[in-house]
């Protein structure tokens, strides 16, 4: 069992697990309403200016692998049903493009505005990092706020800390869907 993080808490992954290089980032949630809700996980690979350097540095359901090959989305879960991770991202830390300073993980609700959906209709949302070599969980963050009325949440980020990699638990809600977030970071 890994370290349970609180909002805005960080952990140096490289110091926590000696030789850590290949990780999975798993995200999950449950729907607490009768509606079907399609949540999508996206990874914004950001440079020092907090911008996506190229289209190939934006990983989501229509672009499953980053330009450099270091980030691989494992596919879109349309319902969030079942136990464990609903969507996961494989990351080879040593292969991340040198222009990338951080990887921002965002969960958005597909067609939220047209269907009247929001994060208040979800519960038990989490993000966790685990070592791909042995499947051991390094850390987990459980989203405790309900974010009623918001359709997107920036839930966590991996970032360079010198030659090491660290993870920060976040819970920053956003409105306007995936398009608004892409506009913010391009």
Other CB atoms within a 10 A radius of the CB of residue 75 amount to 10
Length of the chain: 186
pLDDT digits (tens, 9 = 90+) for 37-80: 889 999 999 999 999 999 999 999 999 999 999 999 997 665 55
pTM above 0.85, yes or no: yes
pLDDT digits (tens, 9 = 90+) for 78-105: 555 666 788 999 999 999 999 999 999 9
Res 79: pLDDT: 57
130, with CB counted inside 10 A (0-12, 13-18, 19+), is buried
Residue 140 pLDDT class (50, 70, 90 cuts): very high
Identify the architecture of domain 3-185 in CATH: Sandwich (2.60)
Instruction: Give the CA radius of gyration of the chain.
Output: 15
pLDDT digits (tens, 9 = 90+) for 4-31: 999 999 999 999 999 999 999 999 988 8
């Amino acid at each position: 069992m890994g370290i349970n993080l609180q909002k805005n808490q960080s952990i140096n992954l490289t110091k926590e697990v000696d030789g850590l290089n290949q990780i999975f980032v798993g995200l999950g949630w449950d729907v607490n309403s009768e509606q079907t809700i399609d949540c999508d996980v996206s990874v914004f690979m950001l440079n020092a200016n907090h911008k996506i350097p190229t289209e190939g540095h934006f990983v989501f359901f229509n672009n499953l692998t980053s330009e450099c090959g270091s980030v691989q989305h494992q596919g879109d879960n349309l319902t969030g049903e079942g136990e464990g991770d609903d969507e996961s991202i494989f990351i080879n830390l040593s292969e991340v493009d040198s222009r990338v300073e951080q990887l921002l993980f965002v969960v958005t609700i597909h067609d939220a505005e047209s269907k009247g959906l929001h994060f208040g209709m979800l519960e038990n949302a989490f993000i966790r990092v685990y070592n791909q070599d042995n499947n051991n969980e390094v850390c987990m963050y459980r989203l405790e706020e309900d974010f009623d009325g918001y359709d997107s949440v920036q839930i966590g980020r991996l970032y360079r800390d010198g030659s090491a990699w660290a993870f920060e638990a976040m819970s920053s809600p956003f409105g306007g869907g995936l398009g608004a977030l892409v506009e913010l970071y391009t």
